[in-house]
């Protein structure tokens, strides 16, 4: 029983972090219908920057997201203006190729500048735990989870309570309807891409503490994120949250009762099963045609 | 007020509009009728800036607007209600209407005033405020679409097929609203397949065919034109102006 409870708690903690990482991917897809394959590479880039900041200054890696999140917001905005905007309106395969290529560029640059070896930020608390009864809660996971929840709450606030957020939601739900009330497509897309990138600014910092990483780790991460958003429904933010929770649980339960090496396979199995049974995912973003 | 001179426009290559001339005087309701593919909706898209004309001149109160972006045209007081799917289905009715005031979002007092005005005007906006727009009926959606475009207190409203897919009762509501807006001085340009309804509501009529304007005049004159009567009204003689549109007899409608 304790073992089960332990697995569930760990699954939910990691699910929260997955939710944050996937929220950016699904937000960008929702507004632009672009699958940003480079989202995983953004995470690793941030993890590397965080590691470096921590190594050089001793700053807490998770707190370093105060620096990396705005940095990635600006980075995302520039990347959208210089690269992504050029394929807007093209077929989705063009954007997949472009962002995949961009991910490889980031990987290559990290390879050359930082070297192809595993890294991990290890603040003082990284091997300590809180204990509640017989269940232990690793401090790093708890802090990571709290940071993720905080950022998701902020994202929710921006999307539902501000004009910027309303414009993003309007453009997601009905691009031509948004144009009719004066919401500019290009500006909204740049903002959504910048916001989506900013979430990796926090997600990557958390990643640097929770998981060892090296430049090519982004393939593994984008696969996980795709598994989550495909399960939840591409473009749906609530879907990404639920999908992340389910896959976090599935991963830790598989690791607990099966084996660690099988646990990452869960994501690929989920992608295949969802595509076969319910291609639109649990909360599939309804297209304009069926939204009536 | 609004004037189009020798306007050409189209989608990818060919021109749908072939030298269109059109005038909308202040405080009129102009109705464009014509067969499918005549370019009626394209005229509205060109005026609202969603489609850029390839040639010709469009002016609003004497100023050229042909090369302006949709938001600049909105700022000039021209709003459009398209045929369908204009709302944000997963947003509440309140938020949908609020989005109509996106361009005046920085002026909170004005925004609140307009919202109150729109609620007065279209009671549905207050009574169904919290409901998702995607859960409304076709008629209710159309009312919310029109309500949303009123947030900018437009001088000119472009309505694309306001009767499309509406039951008689909703249709009467929409017609009443258009009529009331006109009474208060708003200028309306509408496109309508339901010729009887459109010309019945309008003060002026425009007949389009093959991307060209074939006939213009007062609504009554257009309605009485023998060719129009035989083509669109199913007879050689137009019915009296006060007759209800086909299938819209209020006596037989139980509500």
Q: Is the pLDDT of residue B252 over 80?
A: no
Residue B220, in any domain of the structure: yes
C-alpha dihedral sign at A129, A130, A131, A135: negative
pLDDT tens digits for range A54-93:
999 999 999 999 999 999 999 999 999 999 999 877 888 8
A289 vs B141 pLDDT, higher one:
B141
Q: Which DSSP category does B252 fall into?
A: G
The confidence band for B147, taking pLDDT boundaries of 50, 70 and 90, is very high
pLDDT at A113: 96
pLDDT of B208 reads 93
Residue A289: band (very low, low, confident or very high) from pLDDT cuts 50, 70, 90: very low
Q: Is there a domain that residue B249 lies in?
A: no
Measured between beta carbons, the chain B residues lying within 8 angstroms of A89 are none
Mean per-residue pLDDT, A262-287:
80
Boundaries of domain holding B82: 2-243
For residue B143, tell me if it sits in a domain: yes
Structural domains counted in chain B = 1
Q: Is the distance from CB of A48 to CB of A106 less than 8 angstroms?
A: no
Q: Do B102 and A176 count as a contact with CB atoms less than 8 A apart?
A: no
Residue B30 lies inside a defined structural domain of this protein: yes
* pLDDT tens digits for range A186-213: 889 899 999 999 999 999 999 999 999 9
pLDDT tens-digit map of A90-131: 888 899 999 999 999 999 999 999 999 999 999 999 899 999
**pLDDT value at residue A286:** 47
Contact yes or no for A180 and B105 at CB 8 A: no
Cα–Cα distance measured from residue B180 to residue B172, given in angstroms and rounded to the nearest whole number:
12
pLDDT tens digits, A131-174: 998 899 999 999 999 999 999 999 999 999 999 999 999 988 88
Q: From CA A244, how far away is CA A246, in angstroms rounded?
A: 6
DSSP-derived letter for residue B218 is E
> Does residue A164 contact residue A158 with C-beta atoms inside 8 Å?
yes
Which span out of B79-83, B193-197, B224-228 was modeled with the highest average pLDDT?
B79-83
Three-state secondary structure of chain A: CHHHHHHHHHHHHHHHHHHHHHHHHHHHHHHHCCCCCCHHHHHHHHHHHHHHHHHHHCCCCCCCHHHHHHHHHHHHHHHHHHCHHHHCCCCHHHHHHHHHHHHHHHHHHHHHHHCCCCECCCCCCCCCEEEECCEEEEHHHHHHHHHHHHHHHHHHHHHHHCHHHHHHHHHHHCHHHHHHCCCCHHHHHHHHHHHHHHHHHHHHHHHHHHCCECHHHHHHHHHHHHHHHHHHCCCCHHHHHHHHHHHHHHHHHHHHHCCHHHHCHHHHHHHHHHHHHCCCCCCCCCCHHHHC
- Backbone CA torsion sign across A79, A82, A85, A91: negative
Q: Taking CB atoms and an 8 Å limit, are A169 and B90 in contact across chains?
A: yes
pLDDT at B251: 41
Q: Which of residues 156-185 of A touch B (CB under 8 A)?
A: 163, 166-167, 169-170, 173-174, 176-184
Cα A284 from chain centroid?
A: 18
Contact: B88, A180; criterion CB under 8 Å = no
Residue B235: the pLDDT is 52
Confirm if A292 and A242 have CB atoms less than 8 A apart: no
Distance CA A63, CA B249 (A): 70
Q: Which of A164, A182, A191 to mutate to test the interface with B (most CBs of B within 10 A)?
A: A182
The mean pLDDT value for B188-210 works out to 92
Statement: residue B248 has pLDDT above 90: no
What is the number of CB-based contacts under 8 A between chain A and chain B?
72
Q: What confidence score (pLDDT) does residue A88 get?
A: 79
Q: Quote the pLDDT of residue A43.
A: 98
User: Measured between alpha carbons, how far is B179 from B188 in angstroms, rounded to an integer?
Assistant: 10
Closest chain B C-alpha to A118 CA, distance in angstroms:
44
A292 in B contact zone (CB under 8 Å): yes
At B117-130, the pLDDT tens digits run: 999 999 999 999 99
Average pLDDT, chain A: 91
Q: For B31, list phi and psi in degrees, rounded to 5.
A: -115, 125
Q: For residue B118, tell me if it sits in a domain.
A: yes
Q: DSSP characters for B122-160?
A: -THHHHTTTSBGGGS-HHHHHHHHHHHHHTT--SEEEEE
What pLDDT digit, counting tens, does each position of B49-100 carry? Answer: 989 999 999 999 999 999 998 889 999 999 999 887 889 988 999 999 999 9
Tell me how close the Cα of B221 comes to any Cα of chain A, in angstroms.
Answer: 33
- pLDDT at site B234: 62
Dump pLDDT digits (tens) for A248-274. Answer: 999 999 999 988 888 878 888 888 888
The reported pLDDT for the residue numbered B253 is 37
Q: What is the mean pLDDT of chain B?
A: 88
Q: Is residue B251 part of a domain?
A: no
Among the listed residues A213, A189, A193, A191, the one whose alpha carbon sits nearest the alpha carbon of residue A46: A213
Rounded CA-CA distance B117/B17 in Å is: 37
CATH code for the domain of B85: 3.40.50.300
Distance CA A10, CA A6 (A): 6
Say if B255 falls within a structural domain.
no
ipTM of model over 0.85: no
How far from B24 is each of A18, B37, B58, B80, CA to CA, in Å?
A: 56, 22, 11, 15
Any domain includes B184:
yes
A33 pLDDT band (50/70/90 cuts)?
A: confident
């Amino acid at each position: 029983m304790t073992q089960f409870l332990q697995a569930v708690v760990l699954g939910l903690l990691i699910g929260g972090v997955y939710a944050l990482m996937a929220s950016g991917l699904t937000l960008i897809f929702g507004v632009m219908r672009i699958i940003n394959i480079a989202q995983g590479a953004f995470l690793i880039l941030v993890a590397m920057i965080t590691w470096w900041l921590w190594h050089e200054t001793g700053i807490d890696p998770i707190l370093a997201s105060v620096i990396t999140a705005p940095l990635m917001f600006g980075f995302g905005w520039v990347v959208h203006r210089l690269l992504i905007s050029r394929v807007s309106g093209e077929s989705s395969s063009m954007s997949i190729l472009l962002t995949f290529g961009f991910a490889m560029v980031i990987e290559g640059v990290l390879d050359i500048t930082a070297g192809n070896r595993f890294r991990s930020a290890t603040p003082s608390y990284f091997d300590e735990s809180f204990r509640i009864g017989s269940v232990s809660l690793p401090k790093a996971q708890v802090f990571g989870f709290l940071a993720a929840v905080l950022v998701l709450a902020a994202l929710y606030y921006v999307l539902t309570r501000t004009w910027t957020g309303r414009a993003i939601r309007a453009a997601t739900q009905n691009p031509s309807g948004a144009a009719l009330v004066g919401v500019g497509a290009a500006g909204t897309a740049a903002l959504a891409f910048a916001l989506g990138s900013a979430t990796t600014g926090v997600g990557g910092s958390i990643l640097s503490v929770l998981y060892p990483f090296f430049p090519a780790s982004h393939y593994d991460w984008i696969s996980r994120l795709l598994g989550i958003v495909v399960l939840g429904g591409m473009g749906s933010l609530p879907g990404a949250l639920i999908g992340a929770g389910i896959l976090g649980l599935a991963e830790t339960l598989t690791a607990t009762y099966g084996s660690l090496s099988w646990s990452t396979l869960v994501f690929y199995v989920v992608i295949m099963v969802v595509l076969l049974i319910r291609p639109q995912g649990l909360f599939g973003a309804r297209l304009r045609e069926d939204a009536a | 007020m609004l004037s189009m001179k020798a306007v050409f426009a189209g989608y990818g290559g060919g021109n749908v509009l072939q030298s269109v001339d059109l005038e909308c005087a202040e405080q009129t309701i102009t109705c464009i009728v014509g067969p499918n593919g005549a370019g009626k909706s394209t005229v509205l898209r060109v005026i609202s800036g969603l489609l850029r004309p390839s040639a010709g001149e469009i002016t609003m109160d004497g100023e050229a607007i042909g090369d302006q972006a949709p938001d600049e045209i909105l700022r000039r007081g021209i709003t459009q209600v398209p045929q369908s799917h204009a709302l944000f289905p997963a947003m509440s009715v309140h938020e949908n209407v609020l989005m109509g005031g996106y361009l005046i979002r920085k002026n909170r007092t004005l925004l609140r005033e307009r919202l109150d005005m729109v609620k007065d005007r279209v009671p549905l906006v207050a009574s169904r405020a919290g409901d998702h727009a995607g859960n409304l009926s076709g008629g209710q959606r159309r009312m919310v679409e029109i309500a949303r475009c009123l947030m900018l207190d437009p001088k000119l409203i472009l309505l694309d097929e306001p009767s499309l897919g509406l039951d008689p009762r909703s249709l009467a509501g929409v017609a009443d609203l258009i009529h009331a807006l006109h009474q208060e001085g708003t200028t309306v340009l509408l496109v309508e397949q339901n010729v009887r309804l459109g010309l019945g509501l309008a003060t002026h009529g425009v007949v389009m065919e093959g991307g060209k304007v074939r006939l213009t005049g007062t609504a009554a004159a257009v309605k009485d034109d023998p060719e129009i009567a035989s083509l669109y009204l199913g007879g050689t003689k137009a019915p009296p102006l006060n007759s209800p549109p086909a299938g819209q007899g209020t006596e037989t409608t139980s509500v």
